[in-house]
Structure 1
């Protein structure tokens, strides 16, 4: 089967968040994440920084409304849509202030919305700010095998690493890639179906330090890390935004080849953080 990595490489481009208190979220991403705000008449806002974009809309509850992946061309957009429809996936054309006409969305079996499209002329990588490219998004799910099956066999993601419970042999975490980076999407087995976190990839360890200093200055504490993940081999730490959504800052994420076989890791603290204590989902 053609995969995203081999045929239509896709990179996470923006997240659409819902918020009960959108102004607090807007203030956070402007002040803490060096993002410039564009407001719309429906009360939503698009915030742009260097290689990172978020859309924030008023909502009844906090959380992620959609994750959007950027394709390299209109031809790749058309090819991916054709492949999805051939595999029986329902495709819905959408209008986005961040993507060109012809962008479309799909929903997985649990209702999560994923958008694919080509960036419009307003998307810029040269905006001022600290380095941190929006890079991956992660969910917890009660139906891990079904989610992996959908994103691999219908959408075209590739498994980079699996984390297994050594006593039961049960799959606990799956890391999925859509281009040459180790993962742009991942799922943890959990007791709830919810957004787990999203991540910004920096250039080096010193950037991790500088982001940590920025949050420390505002008395925003790191709740996981700093450390190094086993799968992906990346340095990291995590904090929360104004709505308590989790943000990760990462460096040195592993690169892969298209023929790289999936790795297998034991479910343990060392796998999730080789430097020390880990956050184990339940």
Structure 2
């Protein structure tokens, strides 16, 4: 089977957020996340920090408009688009201030937009600031099996770990990878369809400490963590931005070989946080 990891590795590159208060969001990401602002002609702003980029646009509602994945070459971009179209997945040309010509987007069965392309600029990793590379994005969904089927069998993500309710046998969470890292995308079963959180991968435990101190100075409380996830084995904590979007800061996320079989975990607090209490989605 042709997977992203084997054929056209993809890494989460930027998130396009909509905001009813874009200046407030821009101020937060500049001040707290060490991101530099580049205003765009359409009123949007690009914000760049070391290894992390977001695009913020004025919108009627807060939330995620699209997640963009970076491919390594124009050839990979063309190959992936051809594979998707052969599987009956419509693709749409996309013009992005952050992607080279030829980038394209798809929509999943619930309407989420994902962009694939080659980055215009690959120097954001050298920008000053605390380390924290944009690494994964997570959603809650009422149709978990359908989402997993689409992203695995159509797009080419690989399942790293499943979380299963031990009484019913029902799948509750699925972690998906698009390169060697444990997951760049995940879905939780929930009572509504919404953006769950996004994550910045740091280098080590001391970076988690430094980010915690940064948020403490801003009087922003941690709402989940610090702790260690079972799937991925990463250290983490979570906070929220002014629009109440959830941000995770992580360290030591594990990697997976291309042919490594999916793991299975029980649905319980210790799976989501080996150190203690967990945030269980409803």
TM over 0.5: yes
Paired residues, what number? Answer: 282
Root-mean-square deviation over aligned CA pairs: 0.7
Q: Which residue in 1 is equivalent to 2:30? A: 30
Deviation at 1:121, TM superposition (A): 2.9
Aligned partners of 2:147, 2:255: CA distance in 1, in Å? 23
- Tell whether 2:71 aligns with 1:77: no
Q: Which residue in 2 is equivalent to 1:277? A: 277
SS in 1 for 2:233: coil
Q: Which residue in 2 is equivalent to 1:181? A: 181
Contact 1:139–1:195, Cα closer than 8 Å, also in 2? yes
Q: Which residue in 1 is equivalent to 2:224? A: 224
Q: Larger deviation: 272-281 or 117-126?
A: 117-126
- Tell whether 2:231 aligns with 1:242: no
SS in 2 for 1:135: strand
Aligned partners of 2:31, 2:139: CA distance in 1, in Å? 26
Q: Larger deviation: 118-127 or 30-39?
A: 118-127
Aligned partners of 2:210, 2:116: CA distance in 1, in Å? 32
Aligned partners of 1:110, 1:246: CA distance in 2, in Å? 21
Aligned partners of 2:61, 2:121: CA distance in 1, in Å? 31
SS in 2 for 1:250: strand
Moved >2 Å (runs of 4+): 121-124
Aligned partners of 1:96, 1:220: CA distance in 2, in Å? 32
Aligned partners of 1:76, 1:268: CA distance in 2, in Å? 39
Aligned partners of 1:125, 1:177: CA distance in 2, in Å? 21
SS in 2 for 1:137: strand
Contact 1:98–1:122, Cα closer than 8 Å, also in 2? no
SS in 2 for 1:125: helix
Q: Which residue in 1 is equivalent to 2:200? A: 200
Deviation at 1:123, TM superposition (A): 4.7
Counterparts of 1:1-282 in structure 2, within 5 Å, are: 1-121=1-121, 123-282=123-282
TM-score computed with the length of structure 2 as normaliser: 0.99
Partner deviation per Cα, 1:20-48 (whole Å, 9 max, x = no partner): 00000000000010000011232110000
Aligned partners of 1:65, 1:83: CA distance in 2, in Å? 24
SS in 2 for 1:207: helix
Deviation at 1:230, TM superposition (A): 0.1
Aligned partners of 2:241, 2:42: CA distance in 1, in Å? 23
Partner deviation per Cα, 1:29-80 (whole Å, 9 max, x = no partner): 0001000001123211000011100000000000000000000000100000
TM-score computed with the length of structure 1 as normaliser: 0.99
Q: 1:73–1:147: structure 2 CA closer, same or farther, 3 Å change rule?
A: same
